Amino acid sequence: MRPETDTSENTATIASDGDGFVLDSRDRDAILRERDHFEQPQAACIEALKVVQRRHGWVPDGAIPAIAEVLGIGPASVEGVATFYSLIFRQPVGRHVILVCDSSSCFLTDYEALRDAIAARLGIGFGQTTEDGRFTLLPVCCLGACDQGPAMMIDDHTYGPVRPEDVAGLLEDYP
Amino acid sequence: MTSQLRYRCQLHQSARERREESHPLTWRMRDDGVRVDLAEYVSKDGYAAVSQVLNGQSPEEVIDTMTEANVRGRGGAGFSAGVKWCLTLKGENIPRGYLVCNADEMEPGTFKDRQLMEQLPHLLIEGMILGGYANNARFGYIFLRGEYIGAARAIEQALAEAREAGWLGADIAGSGFDFDIALHTGAGRYICGEETALINSLEGRRANPRDKPPFPGQSGAWGKPTVVNNVETLCCVPSVLRHGADWYQSLSGDLSNDGGTKLYGVSGRVNRPGLWELPMGTSGRELLDLAGGIRDGRALKAWLPGGASTGFLLPEHLELALDFDTIAKAGSRLGTGLLTVVTDQQSMVALMRNLETFFARESCGWCTPCRDGLPWTVKLLAALERGEGEQGDIEMLDKLANDLGPGKTFCAHAPGAAMPLASALKYFRHEFEQGVTRPTGPAHAEPIPVGEV
């Protein structure tokens, strides 16, 4: 069933029975606004997960039934989507997420040296988070910055070309 | 420090070189790379095609012009946009559907749509309004990959400007045509660029491709007629309708039967990697020259004409026109038209391992050949790269390249992975053979013992 869009309810929060997760009322509003762009509420599912992730850094277990409730769909539909997409995180990540392009053009311009320099500097490999919770390191599909490879992103910023000797200085800007 | 390392996309042609009559995609772009806002766009003949067409031409006339101009799909498939639009279901008893812009640019080696969206989003919006009109669409979506943060910002600003000025919404330019556009940003996964997977993703589902038929033009998003076009394809539309099919065809002159211009690019170890708008059918040689040739005094070994899912070509193919039919005749595909170059000191086995690792990771897992076959190629290629290959490994790769080919899976992901593999095995077989150092092992037994390998 399609949830009510009555704005008088927008100050309320939805508590889930999972891990004590509470969907922020602003996030609920954002999800409902997104829902109105589409014929069916399921379509807002990916954006809903991104909305939650922007606030929490990841998608906690309790967010799944909370999103499902707002959109009036089953939690399995939300979880199925959450676990499919590589940029939806179903476990906690660091304060900053590093995405290193490992596709062909960057591979041909020494991506492996860049990856190794970051891994050595942070003491982690792909899929891992530093012990201080500062960085998570992940590979990513071609970033569309092939003319300046090897390329990488930290949070919302794209960099390239990044040489191994640039890594220390670059990471310093993300405390 | 970090600001110097920030990625900025920029054409290699200056504004003075780019002219309205010869560079329909890029002539409005600024040398400083700042987004062309609505006022500047309108001052440069922007939205003129919308005013002209919506008040003077029928959707059928628009489609005829597009078909005659032969604008071929710039996302890589090369299918005529006019013919695609012709096949969209329309009629009194048919509900109005959707026009979806495929802005999920993720094909390795491709960085052209980013340039168009960050610096000239109004051109895309204008193309979408015209496409929406031609296809009787009620609404448009821009399906943008999540990592393109700058493009998302530019598009949102442009959509707001266009809506405010009445170019989107009800009764556009007094024509009675209603159309609006929403931006949808993705959450990763290469497969979203496949048009039916994209529709599933737009609907908020896992991005598994759909079987065809029905084609999206018959039954797409929410079962409605849906047209999916690439960013660059849609950006071609305003100039085609403004200046006509003959003019568009003449842009490529004698170089190609395909009309118009193309955003071509080069990446890899060249002196001047980048992006140029050039006539369709420009040769690989000319493009490589513009890119300053191979870096560090090395030689060209091979090149991919348009992304990871195209077949390798050799230096001897550089004289060919970079258009869909010519490159197909040479056994590859034009794809996105952005060259990836491989130099003589780079290993084809290592590069193939990298490419197949990408395809294996990005398989959605829906079809068995793709889900199981691609990791198998990675395993074999990694063994060959380490010099631990077994007798029979290369023949097994041959078989996999065949079994992953067209017609065996829902979508073109596996065939896309098979094409570079088959061509690498054909042209550079000796490099793979060097990795075979061991006798045939249990992995090659017939039949393969279940659970033992």
Q: What are phi and psi of B261, to 5 degrees?
A: -115, 175
Q: Which two tokens stand for residue B68?
A: 């005659």
CATH number at residue A125: 3.40.30.10
Q: What per-residue confidence (pLDDT) applies to B444?
A: 83
Between A46-50, A75-79, B152-156, B443-447, the lowest mean confidence (pLDDT) is in: B443-447
Interface mutation target, options A37, A50, A108, A171, chain B, most CBs of B under 10 Å: A108
- Inform me whether the C-beta atom of residue A175 falls under 8 Å from chain B C-beta atoms: no
Nearest CA in chain B to A82: B206
Contact state of A87 with B147 under an 8 Å Cβ cutoff: yes
CATH number at residue A68: 1.10.10.1590
- Inform me whether the C-beta atom of residue B308 falls under 8 Å from chain A C-beta atoms: yes
Q: Do A73 and A154 reside in the same domain of the chain?
A: no
Q: Do B145 and B294 reside in the same domain of the chain?
A: no
Q: Do A100 and A19 reside in the same domain of the chain?
A: no
- Inform me whether the C-beta atom of residue A30 falls under 8 Å from chain B C-beta atoms: no
Question: Which residues in chain B are contacts of A105 at CB distance < 8 A?
Answer: 108-109, 267-268, 340
pTM, to two decimals: 0.95
Q: What per-residue confidence (pLDDT) applies to B453?
A: 55
Q: What per-residue confidence (pLDDT) applies to B315?
A: 98
Domain count, chain B: 3
Rounded to the nearest angstrom, the gap between the alpha carbon of residue B163 and the centroid of all alpha carbons in its chain is: 28
Q: Which two tokens stand for residue A87?
A: 């940029």
pLDDT digits (tens, 9 = 90+) for A113-157: 999 999 999 999 999 999 999 999 999 999 999 999 999 999 999
Whether residue A9 is predicted with pLDDT greater than 60 in this model: the reply is no
How far away is chain B from the Cα of A3, in angstroms, using its nearest Cα?
A: 17
Contact state of A108 with B206 under an 8 Å Cβ cutoff: no
Under 8 Å between Cβ of B310 and B412:
no
Q: What per-residue confidence (pLDDT) applies to A16?
A: 45
Question: Which residues in chain B are contacts of A50 at CB distance < 8 A?
Answer: 146, 185, 187
Domain count, chain A: 2
Q: Do A82 and A1 reside in the same domain of the chain?
A: yes
What confidence category does residue A8 fall into, taking pLDDT thresholds of 50, 70 and 90?
A: very low
Alpha helices in B55-148 (DSSP H): 59-69, 81-86, 113-119, 121-134
Q: What per-residue confidence (pLDDT) applies to B1?
A: 61
Helix axis angle, A45-56 to A63-71, nearest 10°:
140
Q: Do A46 and A117 reside in the same domain of the chain?
A: no
Contact state of A141 with B358 under an 8 Å Cβ cutoff: yes
What confidence category does residue A13 fall into, taking pLDDT thresholds of 50, 70 and 90?
A: very low
Whether residue A21 is predicted with pLDDT greater than 80 in this model: the reply is yes
- Inform me whether the C-beta atom of residue A146 falls under 8 Å from chain B C-beta atoms: yes
Structural domain for B398, as ranges: 348-444
Whether residue A4 is predicted with pLDDT greater than 50 in this model: the reply is no
Q: Which residues contact A79 (CB under 8 A, 6 or more apart)?
A: A64
Stretches where chain B sits below pLDDT 70 are 1, 448-449, 452-453
CB atoms within 10 A of CB A138: 18
**Among A55, A90, A125, which residue terminates a domain?**
A90
Whether residue A5 is predicted with pLDDT greater than 50 in this model: the reply is no
Q: What per-residue confidence (pLDDT) applies to B2?
A: 75
Structural domain for A167, as ranges: 96-172
For B292, half-sphere exposure in the C-beta direction (CA atoms, 13 angstrom radius) is 14
Question: Which residues in chain B are contacts of A99 at CB distance < 8 A?
Answer: 147
CATH number at residue B435: 1.20.1440.230
